[in-house]
Amino acid sequence: MTLLRKPHTRVALVIAVLMLMPGAAQNAAAPSGPDQHESDAHVVDERRVAPRIVDLTVDSPAMGGEAKVRLLTPDGWERGESGKKWPVLYLLAGGDGDYETWTEEESYAVQEVAELRDVLVVMPQMPMFGFYTDWHNGGENGPPAVESFHLKEVLPILERDYGAGSTRAAAGESQGGFGALSYAARNEWMFEAVASYSGYVHPLQHTHAIETAVDYLNKADLMDADWKDIWGDPETNRENWKQHDPYYLADKLRSVPVHLSSGDGTAGVLDPPGFEDEYIPGLEDPDEPFAEDVVSPTETLMDRESKAVAQQLQKAGADVTTHFYKGTHSPQYWKREFQRSLPMLLYALGTRPAGR
């Protein structure tokens, strides 16, 4: 299969679908943290592309090739500085896995956020629709092993050579919201807080949407894969799906502050007049049709999943905050929600006084 291919431009039509969603043996017990054994992954190129932005190219066995990681470095940071460790904020992109997303001027421009000058921000690449997961691949595993790349390859490199400390938080948009919650739940004590903005945080609730999206991307020649390669068949490999689905991992998030936000799919205050998502055949579940005023079916699905996970977290006694609103699956809302959740993330990282 070909999954490392990525278009050079972000196509609005495709992003509307990509953001819907956002190796190692998947039936084994969930890892408790990054492996400490020496990895063959290594940096083959390092470039400073802006005063505080450094791009790394990593030769990754987990990904089956080279992959990118963008760093936003804190004030006073120096590569390989002896003894100096910085708190780490993982920012995870949506389904296209674009490592440049969080620094783009038209989206987040996190390099301009003053509160992030004391944090090492890590923005790793993911293959198209990689779902922040070590793929099942019909039981054969192997690349792409996204979770292993991010946590077992990149993280040790950053801790060894780039000043990454052991205090970490994670946040993500769309599919990246799933990544933030799934990573924290599957790797207990690795993250101090997580946030999801319109995240695909309950995959088993809408398996048909994953099938629809992968089929769409295959036809658009943006990927070449079977949707069941991610976690297997949702019936015969249901346990593997559940081992990655935050809804079923709520107990593992009881000690981690969680922020969940999403719109309801109707036009909101940040949407331009007449906004409407591209129609994607097969996205609607006949048993749960969309309301007539829904203009962003993708966001309606994310809203249903975020609310379901919020209820599970509350039942588990987790520290969860939510913000549900009228709005669509669009970056302008995610930027607002990132700013809303940032005090919680920074407090967990120890760079902001108590209070949210």
For residue 9, pLDDT beyond 50:
no
> 289 CB contacts (<8 Å, ≥6 apart)?
none
Question: 85-94 pLDDT, tens per residue?
Answer: 999 999 999 9
Q: What residue type is assigned to position 189 of the chain?
A: W
Q: How far is CA 17 from CA 109, 210, 277, in A?
A: 23, 10, 9
- Over residues 63-108, the pLDDT tens digits come to 999 999 999 999 999 887 667 899 999 999 999 989 999 999 888 9
Residue 133 DSSP class: S
Domains of the chain, first to last: 12-349 (3.40.50.1820)
Residue 172: which pLDDT band, with cuts at 50, 70 and 90?
Answer: very high
CA angle 86/147/241 to nearest 5° reads 135
Query: What are the residue ranges of helices labelled H in 199-355?
Result: 207-219, 238-242, 297-315, 331-349
Amino acid identity at 353: P
Strands of the sheet containing 86-92, edge to edge, are 42-50, 53-60, 65-72, 120-124, 86-92, 164-173, 193-197, 258-263, 320-325
Is 59 within 8 Å of 102 (Cβ atoms)?
A: no
| Short-list 132, 135, 155, 153, CA closest to 144 | 135
DSSP 192-208: SEEEEES----GGGGHH
Q: pTM for the full model?
A: 0.88
Angle subtended at Cα 121 by Cα 252 and Cα 199, rounded to the nearest 5 degrees: 45
Give the pLDDT confidence of 286-336 residue by residue, as tens digits: 778 888 899 999 999 999 999 999 999 999 999 999 999 999 999 999 999
Burial class (CB in 10 A: 0-12, 13-18, 19+), 93: buried
